[in-house]
């Protein structure tokens, strides 16, 4: 956060203790970028166990809010993420990991990144959405068997 008008904790911001501020659901937000080009691949969440597993193994683990389950990225698709660098933010409620994306695609839609649509200002100030970097690296139907 870049918040200015409330009290900040000096220890939280300037300390070298890992004291994540998990939310009411026990999660912190995670931003995952591609170490090859800096692009944001996905935004997801980690609970305490996912964070610990990620630090210990060097593979990206998340917590799926919809499935309510710990999840090693790529465990079903094979498209794992190798963590090259991990950082935390000033108030310790967000994590940034730079990863090597195995298989070249992070998104379940088959695309490299989950961010494959741009928002621009259209007619009369209304929002306009268009595809950008939206080529599919793989066919989801052939990767995810149900």
Phi and psi angles of residue 137, each rounded to the nearest 5 degrees, phi first: -80, -35
**99 is a site residue for a second copy (CB under 8 A):** no
**87 is a site residue for a second copy (CB under 8 A):** yes
Among 125, 139, 141, 142, binds a second copy (CB under 8 A): 125
**55 is a site residue for a second copy (CB under 8 A):** yes
Q: How far apart are CA 59 and CA 2, in angstroms?
A: 29
Q: How far apart are CA 1 and CA 133, in angstroms?
A: 29
Q: How far apart are CA 112 and CA 103, in angstroms?
A: 9
Residues 9 to 28 in contact with a second copy, rule: CB under 8 A: 13-18
Supply 12's token pair.
């939280």
Residue 22 or 89 having the CB closest to a second copy:
89
**137 is a site residue for a second copy (CB under 8 A):** no
Burial class (CB in 10 A: 0-12, 13-18, 19+), 40: middle
Beta bridge partners of 62: 71
| Smallest separation (angstroms) from a second copy to the CB of 82 | 14
Phi and psi angles of residue 144, each rounded to the nearest 5 degrees, phi first: -100, 105
Which residue positions form the known binding site for Zn(2+)?
90, 107, 114
Which residues are near a second copy by CB under 8 A?
1-6, 8, 13-18, 29, 31, 33, 37-40, 42-44, 52, 55-56, 58, 62, 64-67, 71, 73, 76-77, 85-91, 94-96, 106-109, 111, 114-121, 125, 127, 129-132, 144, 146
Which residue positions form the known binding site?
89-91, 93, 107, 114
């Amino acid at each position: 956060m870049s918040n200015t008008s409330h009290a900040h904790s000096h220890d939280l911001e300037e300390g070298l203790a890992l004291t994540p501020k998990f939310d009411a659901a026990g999660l912190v937000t995670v931003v995952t970028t591609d170490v090859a080009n800096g692009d944001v691949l996905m935004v997801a969440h980690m609970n305490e166990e996912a964070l610990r597993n990620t630090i210990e193994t060097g593979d990206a683990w998340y917590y799926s809010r919809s499935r309510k389950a710990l999840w090693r990225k790529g465990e079903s698709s094979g498209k794992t993420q190798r963590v090259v660098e991990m950082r935390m933010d000033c108030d310790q409620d967000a994590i940034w990991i730079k990863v090597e994306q195995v298989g070249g695609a992070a998104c379940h839609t088959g695309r490299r990144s989950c961010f494959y649509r741009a928002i621009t200002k259209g007619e009369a100030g209304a929002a306009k959405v268009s595809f950008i970097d939206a080529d599919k690296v793989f066919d989801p139907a052939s990767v995810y068997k149900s």
